[in-house]
Amino acid sequence: MPKELSEEEKAQREFFAGLQKSEVFKRIFQSDFDETAREMCLECTGRQCNSLFMPYAQLNTDVDIDTFIQNLMDAFPGARKLERKGDVILYDFYPDVKGECSCPIITMGHIEPTPHWCRCGNYFNKAMWEAVVKHPVQVELLESPLATGSDICRRLIYLKPPAITTGAPREKQAKVIAKPSTEIKPTTGKPPALNKEIDVREDKTVKELIDELQLFLTPVLLKINDEVFPFSGVKGKKLKKGDKVTVVSMIPGG
């Protein structure tokens, strides 16, 4: 069971919370803030939060993966459900209030609720599981109260990450609003909010297409016809009527 915090740990938490609620920190959620810089900030907060959580929960990472999974569930009975199948863990977290984010930074009003904050949770988990398996892992957010309006937070932990993992959170997190010039078809066999095959109906640039779709997450990769490109390198690429584009969104934190 979680232990009582020492005075030093309480001071660390108060300092951390104070940093998070400062105007400087809130700046990273503004729309004109650099995306790469925002990602770096959220990685820092996620890893810092995990460094405070682990001793509080009295979790030891020098154990085998199945023992750690059981210890994590036992530390907070009923709050977490984890199921491992091979190298993938399905991780469900049940918020204190159904359908609401349980992060103290949100519940205490230090920052306004935003789907961006789920990235902090991704890095929290990334730090934790990497400490257990001693090598990089990948974290994929499937749903959460902030990102998709779900009652729970659900993630996949890839203990041996694949080369590419798709899976922007369903519906709200990767909501696509199609304009008449674009037809969107779910890739066969995939959930509706994962890969999208897009029929381009008029000439435009890649950036214009992505802006038109109003995706919450910036895509990592684009498959244009039969070629795959990093989005950052083809923003200005011209698309022609009849081109087929598949958007691959990847949750940061993996």
pLDDT tens digits in sequence order for the chain, 254 residues long: 455 667 766 666 666 556 655 666 778 888 888 888 889 989 988 998 899 889 888 999 999 999 999 999 999 899 999 999 989 999 999 998 999 999 888 887 778 888 989 999 999 999 999 999 999 999 999 999 999 999 999 999 999 865 433 333 433 333 322 233 334 333 333 333 335 578 888 999 888 887 776 554 455 567 788 777 776 677 788 999 999 888 764 433 33
197's CB contacts (< 8 A; 6+ apart) are 184, 185, 186, 187, 244, 245, 246
Structure confidence at residue 181 (pLDDT): 36
Structure confidence at residue 178 (pLDDT): 28
């961006």: which residue's tokens? 116
Distance between CA atoms of residues 175 and 148, nearest Å: 9
- Residue of 154, 159, 157, 158 lying closest to 170 (CA atoms): 154
The SS3 call for residue 78 is coil
Fold of 7-158: Muramoyl-pentapeptide Carboxypeptidase; domain 2 (3.30.1380)
Structure confidence at residue 28 (pLDDT): 81
Question: From the CB of residue 65, how many other CB atoms can be counted at a distance below 10 Å?
Answer: 15
Distance between CA atoms of residues 150 and 152, nearest Å: 5
